[in-house]
Amino acid sequence: MEPLARIENELKKCVKCGTCRAHCPVFSVLGREPVTARGKIALARGILSGSVPIDSRTREDMSKCLLCGRCVEKCANKVPTDLIVLAAREVLARKRGLTPFSRVISLLLGNRSLLNGLSMLAKVASPFLFGRIPASSGLRLRFPFRFLGRRRIPALARRPFLGRHPEVMEGRPGRPRVLYFVGCITNYIYPEIGEAAVFLLKELGCTVIIPNDQQCCGFPAISGGDLDTFRSLAEKNLAALEKHPADYVMTACASCGGAFHRLYPHVLGERFPELSSRFQALAEKSVDAAVLLDRLGFEPACNGTAAGQRVFYHDPCHLRSRSVVREPRELLRSLPGLELVEAERSDTCCGLGGTFNYHHYGTSMGINAAKITAIGNSRADNVATGCPGCMLQIADGLSRGHGRVRVRHLLEMLADGMRGNP
């Protein structure tokens, strides 16, 4: 009970107005009150008072949250439903054990060499394991495993990103020293994002430091209620990032940044006072790539040829909820010739929600469908975003009928713009 009991005051702030019904992506598809923020808060209070049983049904209800933070943004009382859901999941995990899926996730995340080994194996075996789907929108393979269902996800990278570059690449004197926190999806699936990040930072004269012993940010672990793994990963990351003096810690994954800004200080910092000031320092230093590039004065090459590209920018929830909405758009607009379409639904959730997509694939793709339709209607030929997780989800959605639309990370487009490549 402790994880919930300590935030009981936050639970009491909900006045049950129902505003969150208008904004919860999961509710928009499922239409049942227990999945709204208001419902989850009522259930959390019930768990605390003993009126709601800690059973599989409660676990099911609490799993129906993307942790997108939309309800928090729209709530007049700023009730932190995302943190409440995480606390409830922790209580459920303690009382009922982790789900088999979360156990696997935690095992893998807790151990990078295991993850590296597995990705090697998957790569060698991939031609045999995976069914081929049309080679469009960067999606090449479909897992045949039952547990992955109908998901379409890209092939794993030939070589993970971490380890490709020297740990420290000195820049020009007087320019900022930037620690780059890579994150799992970039590392294993989209190393091209990492390459773009390194290229851009170097061009801007920064010293780039990629600590080799950085780990997963831990979001997937705490999302399943596994505090211990989360804490251990967070502490390892603290140690890895604190080793090098730097001006910034840059993330190019919205969720990793969200973990640094919100989850580390609140879920861990408030719990473990001995770590709190270190988490606070990390939160203050960490910055999303778009904000950093904007601040450092990114300028594209004048012969940049983004000409003729129509781009739909997707706001990742974990950037939007931190008000990182202006910078990515301005950076894109700075690319000569690029047309940024101002479309409906650019700021709604893609439906991934980390482990949510695994547990509720149908609902996840239901939420995604509205986005895909909006992208289709916008007649964009590229989707740009700031989160590799969103890229996976949007690519999966686009592969069913909008195969010609490419999904790319903002940094990839900016790197092209700086190089003068199309």
Ligand X SMILES: Cc1cc2nc3c(=O)[nH]c(=O)nc-3n(C[C@H](O)[C@H](O)[C@H](O)COP(=O)(O)OP(=O)(O)OC[C@H]3O[C@@H](n4cnc5c(N)ncnc54)[C@H](O)[C@@H]3O)c2cc1C
Contact call for residue 308 and other proteins (CB under 8 A): no
Q: How many angstroms separate the CA atoms of 338 and 10, rounded? A: 45
Nearer to ligand SF4, 77 or 303 (CB): 77
- Strands 168-169 and 152-153 turn out to be unpaired
Q: How many angstroms separate the CA atoms of 371 and 95, rounded? A: 37
Contact call for residue 18 and ligand X (CB under 6 A): yes
Map residue 283 onto helix, strand or coil: helix
Nearer to ligand X, 18 or 163 (CB): 18
Contact call for residue 70 and ligand SF4 (CB under 6 A): yes
Nearer to ligand SF4, 71 or 157 (CB): 71
Binds 42: which of ligand SF4, ligand X, other proteins, none (CB < 5-8 Å by kind): other proteins
Contact call for residue 42 and other proteins (CB under 8 A): yes
Question: Cβ(151)–Cβ(390) under 8 Å?
Answer: no
Question: Cβ(137)–Cβ(395) under 8 Å?
Answer: yes
Question: Cβ(249)–Cβ(213) under 8 Å?
Answer: no
* CA-CA-CA-CA torsion sign (72, 343, 328, 384): positive
Using CB under 6 A as the criterion, what x/- string covers residues 8-47 for binding ligand SF4? ------xxxxxxx--xxxx----------xx-xx------
109: tokens are 């995340």
Which listed residue (10, 61, 82, 416) binds other proteins by CB under 8 A? 61
Q: How many angstroms separate the CA atoms of 281 and 97, rounded? A: 33
Nearer to ligand SF4, 71 or 413 (CB): 71
Contact call for residue 205 and ligand X (CB under 6 A): no
Nearer to ligand SF4, 181 or 356 (CB): 356
Which listed residue (47, 65, 210, 332) binds ligand SF4 by CB under 6 A? 65
Stretch binding other proteins (CB under 8 A), from 14-22, 202-210, 248-256, 367-375: 14-22
Which residue do the tokens 């650019």 mark? 346
CA proximity to 35, closest of 315, 314, 356, 319? 356
Contact call for residue 53 and other proteins (CB under 8 A): yes
Contact call for residue 326 and other proteins (CB under 8 A): no
Contact call for residue 120 and other proteins (CB under 8 A): no
Contact call for residue 159 and other proteins (CB under 8 A): no
Helix 410-419 crosses helix 191-203 at what angle (to 10 degrees)?
50
Stretch binding other proteins (CB under 8 A), from 35-43, 115-123, 198-206, 239-247: 35-43
Q: How many angstroms separate the CA atoms of 145 and 231, rounded? A: 31
Alpha helices in 266-325 (DSSP H): 273-285, 289-296, 317-320
Closest contact distance (angstroms) between CB of 42 and other proteins is 5
Question: Cβ(229)–Cβ(108) under 8 Å?
Answer: no
CB burial readout 348-374, b (16+ within 10 A) else e: bbbbbbbbbbbbbbebbbbbbebbbeb
How many binding residues for ligand SF4 (CB under 6 A)? 27
Task: Tell me how far CA of residue 366 lies from CA of 28, 150, 158, 371, in angstroms.
Answer: 9, 13, 32, 9
Contact call for residue 31 and ligand X (CB under 6 A): no
Where in 303-362 is the site for ligand X (CB under 6 A)? none
Nearer to ligand SF4, 47 or 311 (CB): 47
Binds 346: which of ligand X, other proteins, ligand SF4, none (CB < 5-8 Å by kind): none
Contact call for residue 17 and ligand X (CB under 6 A): yes
**CA–CA–CA angle 190, 193, 198 (5° rounding):** 140
Binds 67: which of ligand X, other proteins, ligand SF4, none (CB < 5-8 Å by kind): ligand SF4
Which stretches of the chain bind ligand SF4, using CB under 6 A?
14-20, 23-26, 37-38, 40-41, 65-71, 75, 77, 79, 81-82
Which stretches of the chain bind other proteins, using CB under 8 A?
12-13, 15-19, 21-22, 31-34, 38-39, 42-43, 46, 51-53, 57-58, 61, 76-77
Which stretches of the chain bind ligand X, using CB under 6 A?
17-18
